[in-house]
Structure 1
Amino acid sequence: MPICLRFLMLGLILAVPGLAQAANSFALVIGINEYKAVPSLDGARNDAEDIATALSRKGTTRIISLMDREATKQNIVNAWTTLLNDAREGDTIFVTYAGHGAQIKQIVQGDENDGLDEFWVLPGFDPKNLKETWKESVFDNELHQWFTEAGTRGIKVVFVSDSCHAGGMNRAVRGKLRYVEFGDSRVLGELLAMVSGSAGSSAVAEPESRTPANVTMLAATSEALPVPEVVIEGRSRGALSWAFARAVEGKADRNADGTVTRIELEDYVLATVRMRSESLQTPVFTPVAARDANEALFGVTQMPEMASSSVRPAEKTGRRPMVRARELGFDPLLPLTVKGTDVMPEDIEKGAHTYEWDATTGLFRSPNGDVVAEKVSAFTVNDIVSKFILLDFLKAIASQNPGKIIVSPEKQIYLASEHIKFEAIRGDYKNMLVFNLANTGEIQFLDMVLNGEPQFKTPLKEVQVVEPFGSDHLVVISSDESLEAIGAILQRGVTPKELLAALSQRIDGTDSSIAILPLYTRVY
């Protein structure tokens, strides 16, 4: 499947309870930006390099990386064969792919629930020269066969494929979409005929859509939705690859026991991808539920920054220590391009992927191209800038311990007059603050719990979309640290810059959970 392979949608991980301590892990990491005959990508190689680095630090026994033109079909087959032969019963093979995907009508009738077969588009694939290049692809049927063979040897597979097939976005996105659309039925017909006659893509013993028992998968998003590249920490990335790399580093290991369980991984990835993609993606796990409440996925080692003297341990909580935001790269400056005025807002810098303020139109756009604020003037722009700096701080903390907000309906964009219901999840922390960072830069205080006791008789749990439009961000802070003083300044009114200073003093580096839910709105 595009990069969403149903049976192998973005996969992540061993699927059996308990990790054999003596087991080894291997990895095939593929990242393709440069294509011969289809549009290039910007962030796929960044994804692959990041994942390879994270796996290396984790102690993966052997990693084979294939980037751009190295990612030929023969090299991929050879690499998989090598790793499969090196692995032994109880070992794990990670297979990660970042690049284009596409679909054609299913090769074997009844093989796919949606009637479509998905495949990786490799650099040498040329839809205008299928006779010579069609084999530069990897179909989900082939992957299914490979992974099933691994299962017969008692080898677990971790499949991470950050891409998908689908067209059409309902939000403006500057980043590229990781799919190739074949609108010419003749091209599809030729490809189908060639693939159908290939011994390498013969029917498998069971439907491809049935996940092999040795594989657990996570899709970047459902197959019906596109997977855009987004800007994370100033670089083009796939949100799921970024979240997976952080999980491998150990950020998903909330109880610091050296093992990431399926439940820990799911909680971490779902919240992190939605936050980092600004609600463009919601990952999908397969199987839907963990096979066991304590299902172990993979082991992790302590991250280097944990040894830093600035770490403030979460004593007696059973949770891993938290690192200060600056240790994770937070800088209280916003990369911003200004158009139509000589007025320069405070706390901005230049950068490769910047926010954009056009004083002529009053529009403020994110690096991804979304309109995040309207009617922004020289009098209001500083609060917008401060809002996104505050969000960068909150995201740095959330990357270590993301919280949860339940929203209904769940959409990429909400239109004028729609009602949005939400529920903040406090977890097992004593204290909680809930507030909205509005698209105007205003901070709207919604709820507070102190020492387990709700402070508002009727906390707001539903909002209606009204102008001005742009992006709001619901924020939930949960902690055993005292939050009463911060609640007090929220009640009397506070700017984003003032709130950043208060939060930096109170919760930075502490055992605190942050949930961020981006809500994008427009008139129609």
Structure 2
Amino acid sequence: MLRFLSVALMLASPGLAQAGRTFALVIGVNDYRFVPVLDGARDDARDISSALGRMGADQIVTLVDADVTKQNIVQAWHLLASQAKAGDVIFMSYAGHGAQAPERVAGSEKDKLDEFWVLPGFDPKNISGTWHETVFDNELHQWFSEVSSRGVHVVYVSDSCHAGGMDRAVTGKFRYVEFGKDRLLGELISLMLKEQQPEPTVESVLPENVTLLAATAEALPVPEVVINGKPRGALSWSVARALEGMADRDGDGALMRHELEDYVFATVRMRSESLQTPVFTPVAARGSRELLLSLKPDGEMLVASRPAGQTGQNPIPVARELGFTPVLTVSVEGSATRPENTVEGKHPYVWDAGKGVFKTPNGDLAAENISPFTVNDVVQKYILLDFLQAMATRNTSLVRIDPEKPLYYANEKIKFDAEPGKYSNTIVFNLANTGEVQFLDMVLNGEPVKKTFLREMRVVPPFGSDHLVEISSDEPLEAVGRAMERGVAPKELLQMLTSRIDGKIASIAIIPIYTRAR
């Protein structure tokens, strides 16, 4: 749980480039033959491919599972590269296992390790016969450099990982394969060097027209997380929603670098429960109006998906149309009591009544000391969160916290600031791990209600997962804020928010904050 120390919420008032054609190569692998299989990478690829088609991409090559061979990837890339001309964009995404090997070119990598894709045909017990079923970052760099030199832009999304460990004990699969010691990897590298291929370049120098988006930093893992009841990559899921128009905040049909960055950072953090922070390269946009992709939808594709209020068209979709259902999938252990509004199913939350703990579908500790008398509020909290996440997917906003970590320990302090808003009304509250709704702040008609605003929090027991929420809208929110001040249960709050912002123009930010004793 969080205890709030002092107070604060920073709120203020808040010649387009043209892109050519869009070509795409989308790759996703679940079915590995010789290394652990994944659950969500194939769906990641199909989701992104579908979104690209709906946004009007000119040509899309989608490779999944057995079709993901080195030959098919090389052929697909060169096919698209041969057609792309200056001003065009090649979008590439990869969801699957990553791995590392000692760098081929001394000084080309800060960590002295090259990263590579593990393709389905790579067998670590038969390197001599299968080593070619890999794609190294040096190879990608060469491909990107060649098209960049011709004025072609590249957007590369990497939803895989290369190493690292986690503080939080999640149970989902990780998109990383550890192949063993240097001897094995050294053999792989020596075989590559025997091949007559161009000398690899220094990969640390990014080509001029290339933008890379990685699921996390190289030294950190990428877990598969449960989104809408299915294992997925949080980055791929967020990028697919962005391509559908959710990130196009001004509704002009152009996906700018800052729009994609703001949307992906907020959405990945929300959907991964703060397990991931995506990484953009270059770190900053190359200009205030850097265009990444043009959204050229067929018919009415973006009418319902662009951020609320940006299309000038109605109706705005309600939460149920965005995937929300007012029930939670829960597995009960050690009790004959089933919490209200719950069902059985795949990838459930788990309430272990004997131990008094409530866990997320990712295996994370969500709450402790949960009894039959308190479990319903915890369940209702997560139903409310499902509603808020559905709404936030359509129109998300940013709340920044410092330090930004996947796990906080007792007595640590956390500072936060909210994104400057364009709406007249804002409420800020915390959904505690116990299910308690903690009112924090409110702005009405542009004027703050409190004289000293909430700014700092301290981690105190009980531990688990808190969720800091900011809702901004021009719809009346005072009654909601006043109810929270007096005390309101999650189920009642859901009813109030449904009647006021469901299907209305509102932006939502959610920050998951996981805490432990030590």
Establish whether TM, by shorter chain, passes 0.5: yes
CA contact (8 A) 2:31 2:120 kept: yes
Using the alignment, how far apart are the partners of 1:87 and 1:321 within structure 2? 38
| Equivalent of 1:514 in 495, 508, 512 | 508
Partner of 2:192: 195
| Equivalent of 1:262 in 244, 257, 260 | 257
2:352 matches 1:358: yes
The one-letter amino acid paired with 2:484 is L
Using the alignment, how far apart are the partners of 2:412 and 2:362 within structure 1? 24
Partner of 2:18: 19
Partner of 1:252: 247
Using the alignment, how far apart are the partners of 1:187 and 1:154 within structure 2? 39
The one-letter amino acid paired with 2:394 is Q
What whole-Å deviation, never above 9, does each CA across 1:144-191 have from its counterpart, x for those lacking one?
Answer: 111111123322212111011113111111111101113322101211
What whole-Å deviation, never above 9, does each CA across 1:35-94 have from its counterpart, x for those lacking one?
Answer: 121111111001001001101111112211111111111111111111112323322111
Q: What is the CA distance between 1:417 and its match in structure 2?
A: 1.6
The one-letter amino acid paired with 1:129 is N
CA contact (8 A) 1:312 1:323 kept: no
Using the alignment, how far apart are the partners of 1:461 and 1:141 within structure 2? 45
The one-letter amino acid paired with 2:514 is Y
The one-letter amino acid paired with 1:18 is A
Query: How many residues are treated as equivalent by the alignment?
Result: 503
Q: What is the CA distance between 1:321 and its match in structure 2?
A: 7.7
2:32 matches 1:35: yes
Q: What is the CA distance between 1:18 and its match in structure 2?
A: 1.2
Partner of 2:167: 170
Partner of 1:3: none
| Equivalent of 2:106 in 100, 106, 109 | 109
Partner of 1:65: 62
Partner of 1:279: 274
Using the alignment, how far apart are the partners of 1:464 and 1:320 within structure 2? 43
Q: What is the CA distance between 1:257 and its match in structure 2?
A: 0.8
The 5 Å alignment of 1:266-415 reads 266-301=261-296, 314=309, 322-415=316-409
2:182 matches 1:185: yes
Partner of 2:10: none
DSSP 3-state at the match of 2:197: helix
Partner of 2:497: 503
CA contact (8 A) 2:307 2:394 kept: no
Using the alignment, how far apart are the partners of 2:132 and 2:303 within structure 1? 48
The one-letter amino acid paired with 1:45 is R
What whole-Å deviation, never above 9, does each CA across 1:428-454 have from its counterpart, x for those lacking one?
Answer: 221111100000000011111111111
Partner of 1:140: 137
The runs of 5 or more residues in structure 1 that have no matched partner are: 1-15
CA contact (8 A) 2:48 2:239 kept: yes
Q: What is the CA distance between 1:201 and its match in structure 2?
A: 5.6
The 5 Å alignment of 1:379-458 reads 379-458=373-452
Q: What is the CA distance between 1:340 and its match in structure 2?
A: 1.0
Partner of 2:484: 490
Runs of 4+ in 1 over 3 A off after TM superposition: 301-308, 310-313, 317-322
Using the alignment, how far apart are the partners of 1:463 and 1:483 within structure 2? 24
Output the TM-score relative to the length of structure 2. Answer: 0.93
The one-letter amino acid paired with 1:109 is A
CA contact (8 A) 1:234 1:353 kept: yes
DSSP 3-state at the match of 1:97: strand
The 5 Å alignment of 1:220-239 reads 220-239=215-234
The one-letter amino acid paired with 2:487 is G
Whose relative contact order is higher, 1 or 2, with alpha carbons under 8 Å and at least 6 apart? 2
DSSP 3-state at the match of 1:19: coil
What whole-Å deviation, never above 9, does each CA across 1:371-421 have from its counterpart, x for those lacking one?
Answer: 101111111111000000000000011111111111111111111121111
Residues 201 and 139 of structure 1: is their aligned pair in 2 closer, same or farther, counting only changes over 3 Å? Answer: farther
| Equivalent of 1:98 in 95, 100, 105 | 95
In angstroms, what is the RMSD of aligned CA positions? 2.1
The one-letter amino acid paired with 1:166 is A
The one-letter amino acid paired with 1:133 is T
The one-letter amino acid paired with 1:346 is E
Using the alignment, how far apart are the partners of 2:466 and 2:323 within structure 1? 24
Using the alignment, how far apart are the partners of 1:509 and 1:140 within structure 2? 44
State which drifts further: 235-244 or 149-158.
Answer: 149-158
DSSP 3-state at the match of 1:200: coil
The one-letter amino acid paired with 1:208 is E
DSSP 3-state at the match of 2:509: strand
Q: What is the CA distance between 1:312 and its match in structure 2?
A: 11
Residues 48 and 80 of structure 1: is their aligned pair in 2 closer, same or farther, counting only changes over 3 Å? Answer: same
CA contact (8 A) 1:439 1:469 kept: yes
2:185 matches 1:158: no
The one-letter amino acid paired with 1:274 is R
Residues 426 and 312 of structure 1: is their aligned pair in 2 closer, same or farther, counting only changes over 3 Å? Answer: closer
The one-letter amino acid paired with 1:343 is T
Residues 424 and 281 of structure 1: is their aligned pair in 2 closer, same or farther, counting only changes over 3 Å? Answer: same
Residues 219 and 500 of structure 1: is their aligned pair in 2 closer, same or farther, counting only changes over 3 Å? Answer: same
The one-letter amino acid paired with 1:489 is A
Using the alignment, how far apart are the partners of 1:483 and 1:166 within structure 2? 45
Using the alignment, how far apart are the partners of 1:200 and 1:350 within structure 2? 54
Partner of 1:8: none
State which drifts further: 354-363 or 186-195.
Answer: 186-195
The one-letter amino acid paired with 2:226 is V
Residues 264 and 321 of structure 1: is their aligned pair in 2 closer, same or farther, counting only changes over 3 Å? Answer: farther
The one-letter amino acid paired with 1:180 is V
The runs of 5 or more residues in structure 2 that have no matched partner are: 1-14
Q: What is the CA distance between 1:333 and its match in structure 2?
A: 0.6
| Equivalent of 1:241 in 236, 246, 249 | 236
Using the alignment, how far apart are the partners of 1:257 and 1:478 within structure 2? 22
Residues 426 and 443 of structure 1: is their aligned pair in 2 closer, same or farther, counting only changes over 3 Å? Answer: farther
Residues 319 and 426 of structure 1: is their aligned pair in 2 closer, same or farther, counting only changes over 3 Å? Answer: farther
DSSP 3-state at the match of 2:175: coil
CA contact (8 A) 1:311 1:324 kept: no
Using the alignment, how far apart are the partners of 1:156 and 1:481 within structure 2? 41
Using the alignment, how far apart are the partners of 1:488 and 1:201 within structure 2? 67
What whole-Å deviation, never above 9, does each CA across 1:223-270 have from its counterpart, x for those lacking one?
Answer: 111111100011111000000000000000111111111111111000
